[in-house]
């Protein structure tokens, strides 16, 4: 429809057992008319991944493309469950959960949203990844991006310094 899609997500992997802030922020942003294309999965190292949170709210996380399009039209929000779109995520999920540590999938996930949003807010588990991930987003054609690490988390925080 000519509207730039937005994804806000994190790499996870900070090991701090935080709640899923980015999904709540995406729901709030969509309620204000922003087109949020949330790409995510279940938790590996936190209390709640985006899929876990949305499922607990009663959202169908396994929508087919037509259902997803209708959801966007009605709510400005759509969730793309990574294992449905990327077989490698589906096949690696049990091992990742068992390892209980960050893997390359933490960094890949935010970069492979099938809808290729042009605007992205990305939280990373280590501030040293900010520049690398920003350059990756640029190479992928993202028009506007901010890559952040706040207080050692993949979030923007108020209680400590947020690096971008």
Residue 115 tokens, joined: 């809808």
At residue 82, the pLDDT reads: 87
At residue 95, the pLDDT reads: 62
Interacting residues of 125 by C-beta distance below 8 A, sequence separation 6+ = 10, 11, 12, 13, 14, 15, 102, 106, 149, 153, 154
* Span 25-31, average pLDDT: 97
Q: Residue 100: is its pLDDT beyond 70? A: no
At residue 93, the pLDDT reads: 63
Look at 2 and 146; give whichever has higher pLDDT.
Answer: 146
At residue 118, the pLDDT reads: 96
At residue 30, the pLDDT reads: 97
At residue 97, the pLDDT reads: 65
Look at 111 and 98; give whichever has higher pLDDT.
Answer: 111
Task: Give the torsion sign (CA, 117, 123, 129, 130).
Answer: positive
User: What's the predicted TM-score (pTM) here?
Assistant: 0.86
Q: How far apart are CA 112 and CA 159, in angstroms?
A: 31
> Which CATH number describes the domain made up of 6-163?
3.40.1030.10
Do 22 and 49 meet the contact criterion of CB atoms below 8 Å apart?
A: no
Q: Residue 99: is its pLDDT beyond 80? A: no
């Amino acid at each position: 429809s000519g509207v730039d899609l937005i994804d806000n997500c994190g790499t996870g992997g900070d090991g701090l057992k935080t709640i899923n802030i980015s999904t709540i922020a995406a729901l709030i942003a969509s309620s204000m008319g922003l087109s949020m294309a949330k790409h995510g999965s279940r938790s590996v190292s936190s209390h709640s991944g985006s899929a876990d949170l949305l499922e607990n709210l009663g959202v169908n996380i396994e929508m087919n493309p037509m259902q997803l399009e209708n959801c966007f039209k009605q709510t400005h929000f759509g969730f793309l469950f990574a294992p449905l779109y990327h077989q490698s995520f589906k096949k690696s999920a049990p091992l990742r959960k068992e390892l209980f540590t960050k893997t390359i999938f933490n960094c890949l996930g935010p970069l492979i949203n099938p809808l290729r949003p042009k605007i992205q807010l990305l939280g990373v588990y280590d501030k040293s990844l900010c520049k690398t991930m920003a350059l990756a987003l640029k190479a992928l054609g993202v028009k506007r991006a901010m890559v952040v690490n706040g207080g050692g988390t993949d979030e923007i925080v108020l209680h400590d310094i947020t690096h971008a």
